[in-house]
């Protein structure tokens, strides 16, 4: 699933649930729920170099930051909750960067297995269509949550 979709989901949770002790685990859990929907992922580069990483993930990361900033500005009075939700919803993908590094690969083995098991990757067209539909649904929830 594209990181921007996870960021929007986290923002939705943060904007809808004011208590950070409740919103954090829910935002974290949305990551796994969203990954269980049919979705498309960009190919992960075999080589772990900065240029390869940037080519693969850069556009999605930049879009995620831009959307995140826009949502933080839009939810002026609850921006911290929105940022909190975005962070917790995106953490699972950042943790996977350590799945082959010791001691992380040992300590979080069960977590990495779960993250891989819930993935439902499909072809680009249908996968992006599902992600677009999910963003539309979350956009409607964000509009309803906007109370400032």
Cα–Cα distances in angstroms (integers) from residue 115 to residues 42, 108, 119, in the given order: 16, 11, 7
Confidence of residue 148 (pLDDT cuts 50, 70, 90): low
Number of folded domains that form the chain: 1
Q: What is the mean pLDDT of the chain?
A: 93
Which residues are CB-neighbours of 55 under 8 A, at least 6 positions away?
45
pLDDT at 145: 86
- String of DSSP letters for the chain: --HHHHHHHHHHHHHH---HHHHHHHHHHHHHHHHTSEE--PPPPSS--HHHHHHHHHHHHHHHHHHHHHHHHHSGGGHHHHHHHHHHHHHHHHHGGGTTSTTHHHHTHHHHHHHHHT-EE--HHHHHHHHHHHHHHHHHHHHHH---
For residues 107-135, give the mean pLDDT: 95
Determine the structural domain holding residue 95 and report its residue range: 3-145
For residues 62-87, give the mean pLDDT: 96
The tens digit of pLDDT for each residue in 14-36 reads 999 999 999 999 999 999 999 99
């Amino acid at each position: 699933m594209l990181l921007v979709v996870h960021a929007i989901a986290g923002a939705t949770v943060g904007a809808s649930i004011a208590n950070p002790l409740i919103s954090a685990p829910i935002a974290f859990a949305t990551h796994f729920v969203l990954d269980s929907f049919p979705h498309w992922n960009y190919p992960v580069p075999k080589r772990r170099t900065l240029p390869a990483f940037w080519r693969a993930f850069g556009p999605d990361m930049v879009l995620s930051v831009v959307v995140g900033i826009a949502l933080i500005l839009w939810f002026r009075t609850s921006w911290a909750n929105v940022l909190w939700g975005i962070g917790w919803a995106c953490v699972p993908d950042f943790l996977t960067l350590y799945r082959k590094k010791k001691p992380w690969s040992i300590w979080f083995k069960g977590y990495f297995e779960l993250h891989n098991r819930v993935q439902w990757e499909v072809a680009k067209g249908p996968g992006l269509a599902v992600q677009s539909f999910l963003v539309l649904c979350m956009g409607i929830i964000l509009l309803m949550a906007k109370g400032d």
